[in-house]
């Protein structure tokens, strides 16, 4: 029986420059922030990040890790606009592929299902239709649809409330988000968890099974200041402090020293 426990540093050691990484959660909710912090503090570079974005994206923008971002939005929820992401975009520092939220979902599904693309009508007529995105004509009805390319991931990072050492894992909040789809879209999935030990009373919450998982990191508080209800809500004060560092280099240095263990 395999024991997949590892540390954040061991996860980072298995990642490489230029990889495409998917990050689970949604906005500023149940993000695998201890893993994101470890990447932010590492030497990794030129990453393509695929995320329903929150502070994971902002932090990796601020620390210069992102070459390309595939996204539908980046938001801190209670703070509508993510200031570090905005700063990086307005400085022209990152390349983007902007997708509708549902197109993004179809791309993840395609990757998990071994399909080169999946069709959708979402996106037609809008600015997400850059030349890299193609449309098809339905052979039955003649209707035009978008062929959303598979969002294949080299690795996925997700945070779950409970897990065992083999990689079976549960969410205990009300929304699974798309963490299972991120896992199935990825060659390797690293999951952090609040606690090792499954909750037997929640049979319908087994979102992740061990076939999906390469490594398990026990990380109490691992979602950091993002929402991880019912274990803990978003730390709004800390999130406000994080957001305020976008306009104050000294505040950023203090924040990075305290939370990233680095003086970037």
Partner 1 sequence: MSITRGDYCVIACAEAFRGDGEIMASPMAPVPKLGVGLALRTFEPDLVCTDGVAHLVDVQGKREGWMPYAKVFENLWWGKRHVMMGASQIDQHGNQNISALGPAHKPKVQLRGVRGAPGNTIHHTTSYWVGHHSPRVFVPLVDRISGVGPCNGAHEIRVVVTNLGVFDLCGPKQTMRLQSLHPGATVDQVQERTGFTVFIPDQIGTTRAPTAAELEIIEKLDPEARIRGAIKA
Q: Do residues 224 and 241 touch, judged by C-beta distance below 8 A? A: no
Least Cβ distance, residue 31 to partner 1 (angstroms): 15
Find the distance separating the first CA and the last CA of the chain, reported in whole Å.
41
Q: How far is CA 104 from CA 101, 144, 146, 185, in A?
A: 5, 18, 12, 12
User: Of 32 and 58, which CB lies nearer to partner 1 in the complex structure?
Assistant: 58
User: Of 19 and 133, which CB lies nearer to partner 1 in the complex structure?
Assistant: 133
Least Cβ distance, residue 93 to partner 1 (angstroms): 9
User: Of 136 and 257, which CB lies nearer to partner 1 in the complex structure?
Assistant: 136
Least Cβ distance, residue 254 to partner 1 (angstroms): 25
Least Cβ distance, residue 184 to partner 1 (angstroms): 14
Least Cβ distance, residue 82 to partner 1 (angstroms): 8
Which residues would be at the binding site for partner 1 (CB under 8 A)? 26, 53, 71-75, 80-82, 85-86, 89-92, 95-96, 98-103, 105, 120-128, 173-178
3-class SS at 239?
A: helix
Instruction: Report DSSP letters for 32-98, one per residue.
Output: -HHHHHHHHTSS--SEEEEESBSHHHHHHHHTT-EEEEEES-B--SSSSS-HHHHHHHHTT-SEEEE
With a CB cutoff of 8 Å and minimum separation 6, the contacts of 246 are 62, 83, 84, 86, 87, 252
User: Of 117 and 259, which CB lies nearer to partner 1 in the complex structure?
Assistant: 117
Q: Do residues 236 and 13 touch, judged by C-beta distance below 8 A? A: no
User: Of 99 and 219, which CB lies nearer to partner 1 in the complex structure?
Assistant: 99
């Amino acid at each position: 029986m395999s024991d997949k426990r590892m540390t954040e540093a061991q996860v980072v050691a298995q990642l490489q420059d230029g990889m495409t990484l998917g990050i689970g959660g949604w906005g500023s909710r149940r993000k695998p922030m201890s893993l994101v912090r470890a990447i932010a503090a590492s030497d990794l570079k030129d990453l393509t990040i695929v995320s329903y974005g929150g502070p994971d994206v902002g932090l990796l923008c601020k620390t210069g890790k992102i070459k390309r971002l595939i996204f539908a939005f980046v938001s801190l929820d209670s703070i509508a606009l993510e200031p570090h992401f905005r700063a990086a975009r307005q400085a022209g520092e990152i390349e983007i592929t902007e997708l509708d939220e549902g197109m993004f979902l179809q791309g993840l599904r395609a990757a998990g299902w071994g399909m080169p693309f999946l069709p959708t009508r979402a996106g037609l007529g809008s600015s997400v239709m850059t030349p890299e995105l193609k449309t098809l004509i339905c052979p039955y009805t003649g209707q035009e649809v978008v062929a959303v390319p598979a969002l294949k991931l080299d690795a996925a990072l997700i945070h779950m409330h409970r897990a065992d050492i083999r990689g079976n894992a549960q969410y205990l909040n009300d929304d699974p988000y798309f963490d299972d789809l991120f896992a199935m879209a990825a060659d390797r999935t690293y999951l952090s968890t609040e606690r090792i030990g499954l909750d037997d009373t929640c049979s319908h919450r087994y979102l992740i099974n061990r076939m999906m998982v390469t490594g398990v990191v026990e990380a109490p508080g691992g979602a950091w200041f993002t929402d991880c209800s019912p274990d803990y809500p978003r730390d709004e004060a800390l999130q406000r402090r994080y957001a305020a560092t976008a306009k104050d280099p000294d505040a950023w240095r203090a924040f990075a020293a305290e939370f990233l263990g680095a003086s970037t």
